[in-house]
Chains A and B, each alone.
Chain A
Amino acid sequence: MIGKPVLLAELHGLFQWLHEKLQATGLSQTWVDIITYATLGVIIFGVLSLIALYLIWWERKISAHVQQRFGPMRHGWHGWYQTVMDALKLLQKEDIRIVTRDKVVFFWAPVICFVAAFLAYVVMPFGDRLIVADLNIGILYIMAVTTFTIISLLMAGWGSNNKYALLGGMRSAAQVVSYEVPMVASILTIIIFVGSLSMMDIVKAQSGLIFNWYVFRIPFGPIAFLTYIVAATAECNRTPFDIPEAEQELVSGYNVEYSGMKFAMFFLAEFVNMFTVSAIAVTLFFGGWNGWDFIPSWIWFLGKTLIIVLLLMLFRWTYPRLRVDQLMEFAWKFLVPVTFANLIVAGIFKYFGWYW
């Protein structure tokens, strides 16, 4: 690894170096592992928080430029540390707790939301050999863990003792559960071809150049990608599927009663979730960290993910919000049949070996 000529530092080498150094100190294997994984966890947590902060800034800039405004311009070059200042402000704010809240539920909702948003990154392949734990049920684990977000939203709605919040939470639960079905079905289309649930295997199955990526497996690849991205948009409660926080109807949805850092946790978790679904889309359809060798793999991964994030942001500032019944109709009457038909087509292709 170290002998290989690369333009930029490979992160994997850094971790290996850390591991070797720790082992050299003569600690027992258990302690070395604990320290290594704790460091990894802190690094990933820090990096993702930073990414979430910058996604907020980016979203504000993109929404502004779509409407031919500037967006934040005052803090640094084009307001680059605006969201950092926002986060600092939210940290200092008073934590308002209404008297009629359900104390335990109200307290734990943002915590669960925040933790659940970060859990998926245990199996996220950031780059070549750059993964915390390559579970053999990788994608299944992600699907299971990201669903925790619904529970937290429902808890926030219930604990707030506020009809707007409760309605937001209920809507969110209904929506996310509905869209889970087409999402999993479109992921299954890819799983059929990989034959493994491990994220590393999924990436390796697409190694090589562009035409090995699953999004280009015509006809089912592009369709699976489209259905996945629609379901993913609904999954992270973004426009046009943002009825859980529809401003006109529900003030702000499940997080009306939250303030200060608890609100910030919901807000950051939302953007981390957006990054998660984009990262999954990249892993499944765009070849993960595969690309030309002269650019480090983790940069490929980040770049592709940010492009998908940009797409999600453009969705938000292009499309109007759907009504609740239209939303459900779209999920059950259109997306579910399409994804299952797609799944069958993919199965036929796999059985006869018609793909390239």
Chain B
Amino acid sequence: MNPLKGIRELVRGLQITGKHLGRHAITIQYPEQRWTMPERSRGIVVLLSDKETGELNCTACMLCEKACPTAAIRIDAPRDEKKKRHLKQFIVDHGLCCFCGLCEEACNFSAIKMATKYEFSSESKEDLVWDIKKLQELGRDVPYVDTRKKKKEAAKAAAAKAAPPKPEKAEQEKPNFPPKPESPSQAAEDNGRTTGAEKEQQSLQLGDERRQDDKEGQS
């Protein structure tokens, strides 16, 4: 037993707690202060609309309904004479939803997404069942990457039989980590364009492309 050593350790303990006492608390005072949720966090399910026409991206392919493990998605889309489905009603029951994000993964047309909003408590179960109008309204301002457009562009490019733009693009989109000697105006433009969210979107885009490529390769 060495009392002096023990006392030194006790004093060190006091130093540590004293140090923490002087620091500022890291708690977020919830209703007054909120976290900005990360772009890919999984909150409510929303339907996305085309940015130009304002119409829903959904083509009623029913893939999300099939992917949903809790059957929270109900789609009413009757076929017409040409056996083409027309979207009539799209219901998401947020009381059933388990926020797994499988619907978003299943969707090929960037029509459904999990937004960052996470506060939607209500007083009754019925209020959690949201119909197509509400889902569209909620999805209006949700930023997303339109994979359909890319498909169209790719199809156009293939039709024109020009040199495939993809490799060029890949070069451009590579992050300038070893900063290449660029013209200053271009660098400034780049800096202006690539905010954090956009960068993430770009990476998302790349990921989507890869996935699509894989699928194409499989088919």
A-to-B contact residues, CB < 8 Å? 62, 64-70, 73, 314-315, 317-319, 334
Contact of A68 among B1, B18, B27, B29 (CB under 8 A): B27
Q: How far is the CB of A89 from chain B (nearest CB, A)?
A: 22
Interface centre among A64, A68, A69, A319 (most CB of B within 10 A): A68
Contacts of A319 in B (CB 8 A): 10, 13
Total contacting residues, chain B, CB less than 8 A:
16
With A73-B29, A334-B3 as known contacts, state yes or no: A66 contacts B13, CB within 8 Å: no
Contact between chains at A68 and B26 (CB < 8 Å): yes
Contact between chains at A65 and B21 (CB < 8 Å): yes
Q: Bound state CA distance, A318 and B16, in angstroms?
A: 8
Contact between chains at B13 and A318 (CB < 8 Å): yes
Tally of A-B Cβ pairs under 8 angstroms: 36
29 A-B pairs with CB atoms under 8 Å apart are A64-B25, A65-B20, A65-B25, A66-B17, A66-B20, A66-B21, A67-B20, A68-B20, A68-B24, A68-B25, A68-B26, A68-B27, A69-B25, A69-B27, A70-B25, A70-B27, A70-B29, A73-B29, A314-B14, A314-B17, A314-B18, A314-B21, A318-B14, A318-B16, A318-B17, A319-B10, A319-B13, A334-B1, A334-B3
Q: How far is the CB of A224 from chain B (nearest CB, A)?
A: 15
Top 6 nearest A-B pairs (CB, nearest first) are A318-B17, A318-B13, A70-B25, A66-B17, A68-B25, A70-B27
Further 6 A-B residue pairs, CB within 8 A, beyond A73-B29, A319-B13: A66-B20, A68-B23, A68-B25, A68-B26, A70-B25, A318-B14
Q: Bound state CA distance, A318 and B13, in angstroms?
A: 6
Interface centre among B10, B14, B17 (most CB of A within 10 A): B17
B15 nearest in chain A by CB position: A318
Q: Which of B67-102 contact A (CB under 8 A)?
A: none
Q: How far is the CB of B132 from chain A (nearest CB, A)?
A: 41
A334 nearest in chain B by CB position: B3
Contacts of A62 in B (CB 8 A): 21
Q: Bound state CA distance, A318 and B25, in angstroms?
A: 17
Q: How far is the CB of B59 from chain A (nearest CB, A)?
A: 50
Q: How far is the CB of B139 from chain A (nearest CB, A)?
A: 36
Contacts of A314 in B (CB 8 A): 14, 17-18, 21
Q: Bound state CA distance, A290 and B24, in angstroms?
A: 34
B12 nearest in chain A by CB position: A318
Q: How far is the CB of A137 from chain B (nearest CB, A)?
A: 34
Q: Bound state CA distance, A73 and B13, in angstroms?
A: 27
Contacts of B3 in A (CB 8 A): 334
Q: Bound state CA distance, A305 and B2, in angstroms?
A: 31
**Binary A-proximity of B129-148 (CB < 8 A = 1, otherwise 0):** 00000000000000000000
B10 nearest in chain A by CB position: A319
